[in-house]
Structure 1
Amino acid sequence: MRKVVLLSLSTIFLLSSCVSKKQFTDLEAKHKETQDLLNSATVKLNSCLEDRASATARAAALEEQVSDLRKANDNLTVLSAKGASNVEKTLESIKEKDLKISRLQDAITKKDSVTLALVTSLKREVGINDPDIEVNVEKGVVFISIADKLLFKSGSYNVTSKAKDVLAKVAKVVNSKPDFECMVEGHTDNVPYRKEPLLDNWDLSVKRSTSIIRVLETLDVNPSQLIAAGRSHYVPLVDNDTAENRSKNRRTRIVILPKIDQFYDMIEKEMKNLEASN
């Protein structure tokens, strides 16, 4: 079965003034709608594949019967009108199911191709050889994970000059994809934090996110493409039981993904085409 990649958007809590709770709730709801639609498309696709396999088997069996009949009696050169009609209908059914499958796969493959091109571009621009920078694809979404030691001093949300060099490369890729959104997620360890005016790790994670976004704005990234998010210490990569592990968990993740509305419309259109042809 051809590969189907599901789009997923990580659950986020938006605590910055840049994104209101309602905007986040709308985005999350739209993402759920998209995922439900993709799940439905996958079920339809699997059903079509199963039907096609069954129809192919029936056609092969009919063709074998034809061959046996010709060997058994050289004088029998013509199939009955009913048998010939069955073969023709079976082959036509296979063609129709192939067309339905192709429509769904074209929609999903289009997104996969864009995602692959984006990953290649990011790896080239950001520098994949740096162990503190990771470029990857997770559930169909492209992300860049940057260790906080490259971005901030300990307990601070002020972006370092070294970080600006890395973010300039990120901005170059984002600017080349005006139809994509860029979500900046701040992550902390579980050590309690309180430093005025910030109250805790929630505040720190969001403040670091908005600090990165302000740098991206100075690099001419369209603000309407940007989403600020803070995850506090609730999505660790590893247990916060050693200093080394806590360092791994303190990170900023930049998620780059197609605008949900556009992808939703594309899949919805193909689903309607599939239903209309049934």
Structure 2
Amino acid sequence: MKKNLFVVALMAGALLLSGCASKKELQNCQTENAQLTSDYNTAKTTIAANNERIKSLEEQLAAAKSHADALQSSLDKSLSNAGSSNVNIEKLVDQINESNQYIRHLVEVKSKSDSLNLVLTNNLTRSLSKDEMKEVNVQVLKGVVYISLADNMLFKTASYEVNDRAKETLSKIAKIINDYKDYEVLVEGNTDNVPVNSDAPSMKNIRNNWDLSALRASSVVQYLQNNFGVDPKRMTAGGRGEYNPLVSNDTEIGKQRNRRTQIIITPKLDQFMDLIDKAPEEK
């Protein structure tokens, strides 16, 4: 009997001990579960916060990428426009350089022409005497040499025939013309507005001042050719009558100034145009 009670007591103790152990484990489990739950919630909160942060960073990255793409597009466009502008600018610069080069060429041609005209004029004026200079006017106008001679030193009274007095002066002019073979010569007759006296023997068959001015120019051309060997191919005779006056014909002095013959010496037009049209050499 005692033995049976002992066994029962042991079993009861074992059960009691077993119950106590289960309760402690339960408490431990509950404590651990509470900690895990807390950790989970914390982690969940952290993850949520991180997700929000990541989302914010992704949005910022997307905005930055969009801005970068816009900048790149703008840069590409700018570079494209700049390239086009550079091409246009280069073309413009080339055109300006060509234009400047051509202008320099024209200036050189003009300077050469002006220099030759100056030498020609100086040579002629130095060869003329003081008395001749009173009746001969030499000047350069617009790149052309004008030699103006009074009619009373060239022609006989009321005539288109060259007088003996003009021989010395015309010989000096002829020498200059022969020395400058690249020049052409236009001899131009001019009169005052007084009608021609057709009754005078020397004016027979002369209808008006047109005829008189043309015949006087022709007489000078032939005189230069026949007496001084000036090439007739280089010369042209023309008359302008009374229609190219220097001054008014209202006075005798004015009429005297208008009665003149001009010997116009100019570079040959075709050679001068060749100089102008010639492409400047690259420098």
- Aligned-pair Cα RMSD in Å: 2.7
Displacement of 1:152 in angstroms is 1.1
Match of 1:7 in 2: none
Displacement of 1:113 in angstroms is 1.6
Preserved CA contact (<8 Å) 1:128 1:135? no
Question: CA 1:241 to 1:99, structure 2 compared with 1: closer, same or farther past 3 Å?
Answer: closer
Match of 1:136 in 2: 139
Inter-partner Cα distance in structure 2 for 1:185 and 1:247: 16
1:122 is aligned, of 103, 110, 124, to 124
User: What amino acid maps onto 2:106 in structure 1?
Assistant: L
Pair 1:174 & 2:177 matched:
yes
User: What amino acid maps onto 1:220 in structure 2?
Assistant: G
Match of 2:244 in 1: 235
Match of 1:37 in 2: none
Q: Any stretches of 5+ residues in structure 2 without a counterpart?
A: 1-81
Match of 1:147 in 2: 150
Inter-partner Cα distance in structure 2 for 1:128 and 1:136: 16
Pair 1:200 & 2:208 matched:
yes
For 1:182-261, what aligned pairs fall within 5 Å after superposition?
182-193=185-196, 194=198, 195-217=203-225, 218-261=227-270
Deviation per residue, 1:197-255 (Å, 9 max, x gap): 21111110011011111110121111111110101000111111122211111011100
Match of 1:26 in 2: none
TM-score, normalising length from structure 2? 0.60
Question: CA 1:186 to 1:95, structure 2 compared with 1: closer, same or farther past 3 Å?
Answer: closer
Displacement of 1:269 in angstroms is 1.5
Displacement of 1:107 in angstroms is 2.2
Tell me the secondary structure at the aligned position of residue 174 of structure 1: helix
Question: CA 1:96 to 1:258, structure 2 compared with 1: closer, same or farther past 3 Å?
Answer: closer
Inter-partner Cα distance in structure 2 for 1:235 and 1:229: 12
- Identity among equivalent positions (%) equals 42
Displacement of 1:100 in angstroms is 4.5
Q: Any stretches of 5+ residues in structure 1 without a counterpart?
A: 1-81
User: What amino acid maps onto 2:154 in structure 1?
Assistant: L
Inter-partner Cα distance in structure 2 for 1:215 and 1:208: 10
User: What amino acid maps onto 1:111 in structure 2?
Assistant: S
Inter-partner Cα distance in structure 2 for 1:259 and 1:152: 29
Paired residues, number: 186
Inter-partner Cα distance in structure 1 for 2:176 and 2:151: 21
Inter-partner Cα distance in structure 1 for 2:102 and 2:234: 34
**Structure with more relative contact order (C-alpha pairs < 8 Å, separation 6 or more):** 1
Tell me the secondary structure at the aligned position of residue 209 of structure 1: helix
Preserved CA contact (<8 Å) 1:144 1:255? yes
TM-score, normalising length from structure 1? 0.61
Displacement of 1:120 in angstroms is 1.2
Pair 1:113 & 2:115 matched:
yes
